[in-house]
Chain A
């Protein structure tokens, strides 16, 4: 019987025999307060697992991570054999010391375990999603193909011309048809038409000459899981569903994926048909429920955010249509800004919106409509923006000309508030009305900013705003169990990434507002290293997910979803990933500091 078992991640991935062998090679070490366990220039030949106590990891004077019971440190240093950081005892530590050779030998034999030690953050986060993905898999495993609404197959004859096939596809609104030739069945899809055009074939060509007769099928009783696997493995978008040996339907990948967002389909239909604001308030609650359902089915935060963005945009658009007179609708542009504009607001945290008026718009009419709109949103559960950044406030409901001078004001007097307003405005997306009005403002902003390096630097500086000398774990200063230790995920992690990307995107003149799209665009423009970009994506996605799951828990308790999370309440793997994510944030901040020469301002 071993004194201490290695039952926590990543050791839970080991087979019992592997675990026993590793435990047998371990010694127990004891460290007093403030003792340095690992430091720069010290060879690292041991992986520590904390039995009791706490250890902080310091980069220079800054605390970048705190390790506690069952946490492991430091995989990276072990692999590298050295580290620049110092690991200091925060609170008397008893630790298991695993020798380097034993750990590394295991990483070679057990690949899942190995992944934790060698891989960059990206892959490490992938390992988590595989673990949490279990729930998703279970739902998927339980569901059979029969449960998904599949389209009825449209049959054509092999001798039919492709022109008539095209007409038939258009008429039935399908992306594929099944082709009969005697006892054989083939499939012909819209993507096959690409070849028709490339080859310059005539519309009279019989479809039988072009289609494939070896069908990739799935049985109606088969698991959805297998269907998805087949699609992924073969890199195809649809499968023929077999029913009693006959082709009975087509399972499109889209159908399969929307099986999860099943409700989303219904919600968006209901929104379109809503006739009163009360109906819409009901829809808004449904969106919230949908988020809970999808999140519990394992849909990742960024995808969820995009879905919510789409639904919310429809919700806002529909509300605006019900509220604003037609003339006003035509002479204004309704915007969502901030996180809603970026498509990253999943739970309702605030209503950042604005209304740009064309010169011809009636200001009084606009005021009444805007106030009604803000009230409606409040009724939907969007708390009013504490800074008054909403259409009901005259500062955010102005004519194009007034907005132009407002933007000039922000640029001329770039104090904290101006820069915050600008940041929110940069993420704006049009929801309803005359989009050209927003384009005018965007063009104006771009012209004003042209090559103004000093401005970008000032703009980017906000990333430094929330850097506390303590590091991110605010409770570090206090020692023992004094109440609940909390961490502001937004200030410490999400904001610096989002704002840094915004600053880079603004400088590069990119039109995208979603952070993940910005990352991709910045990589493609050669303004962001691909590896860092991927790490940032993963880190941001993980932090959004964490914020979402903590927010959902808060809602369940009847509290307001906020940005504070309790590291103590996380699993040690989640904490580990959070540390990795935050270290990516730090890396990114370092690069931004250098890029925007943030040191040169005082």
Chain B
């Protein structure tokens, strides 16, 4: 109810009709996404790469993945290079954040978003989304770690619930992919989502 009102409100705020697709039909699909950024602080973080993959029923449509490299305004510093492995030369041939996000929004359309600590990714994306459209991402969002939390709590009330990615993967039997590659992380989140959905723990 609130979501619908909010969407309705954002629809009216939308500056650029190019992005009307964000309010379109979800076509029964979701989009799992992940971003690599220059920092872990939203205020300072700039996009380095975006990976996204659609989920259709029990299928992760890896045959149509979305992957884009972004050239940040400030080049990544040594500490973050160690995390994501994207060196200055790797991102310098990327596209502008506006271009990358425009393409991403087209890929997402009206679909619901899925991710692991999605809030952070969406917050970083919204910095550019707002610039382009005047609004923040209107898509509904599904946080796999929250679904997992509810699922574990139902099974083991009162227990401490470890929400580290490795723990989720181990407990849900999801294979571990090389990390800090935006597409792989998006696929991982998608697999977690499907495993949780089969357990009745994700709507």
Residues of A within 8 A of B (CB): 1, 3-4, 24-32, 51-53, 92, 94, 97, 99
Contacts and interface: CB of A to CB of B under 8 A. Distances in A.
B95 interface: no
B173 interface: yes
Given A1-B181, A3-B184, A92 B62 contact: no
Given A3-B184, A30-B60, A31-B58, A94 B198 contact: no
Contact of A30 (B177, B181, B183, B194): B194
A27 B184 contact: no
Contact of B177 (A3, A24, A32, A97): A3
A26 B53 CA distance: 12
A31 B174 CA distance: 12
A94 B194 CA distance: 10
Q: Which 10 A-B pairs have the closest CB atoms?
A: A30-B194, A28-B60, A32-B198, A30-B58, A3-B187, A27-B59, A3-B177, A25-B63, A52-B175, A27-B63
Contacts of B187: 3, 28
A142 B178 CA distance: 41
B189 to A, nearest CB: 12
A38 B179 CA distance: 32
Contact of A27 (B62, B175, B191, B198): B62
Given A92-B198, A94-B175, A99-B63, 15 more contacts: A1-B181, A3-B184, A4-B177, A24-B63, A27-B59, A27-B60, A27-B63, A29-B58, A29-B59, A30-B59, A31-B58, A32-B198, A52-B173, A94-B174, A97-B59
Contacts of A92: 173, 195, 198
A31 B59 CA distance: 9
Q: Name the interface size band of chain B.
A: 20 to 34
Interface string B167-198: 00000011101100101100100110011001
B71 to A, nearest CB: 20
Contacts of A99: 63
Contacts of A29: 58-60
A49 B160 CA distance: 36
Interface of B: 58-63, 173-175, 177-178, 181, 183-184, 187, 190-191, 194-195, 198
A92 B192 CA distance: 13
A516 to B, nearest CB: 44
A28 B194 CA distance: 11
Contacts of B183: 1, 3
30 contacts: A1-B178, A3-B62, A3-B177, A3-B183, A3-B184, A4-B175, A26-B63, A27-B59, A27-B60, A27-B61, A27-B62, A28-B59, A28-B60, A28-B187, A28-B190, A28-B191, A29-B58, A29-B59, A29-B60, A30-B59, A30-B60, A30-B198, A31-B58, A51-B175, A53-B173, A92-B195, A92-B198, A94-B174, A94-B191, A99-B63
B111 to A, nearest CB: 16
Nearest to B188: A3
Nearest to A52: B175
A564 to B, nearest CB: 29
A426 B198 CA distance: 57
- By CB atoms of chain A within 10 A, which of B60, B173, B174, B195 has the most? B60
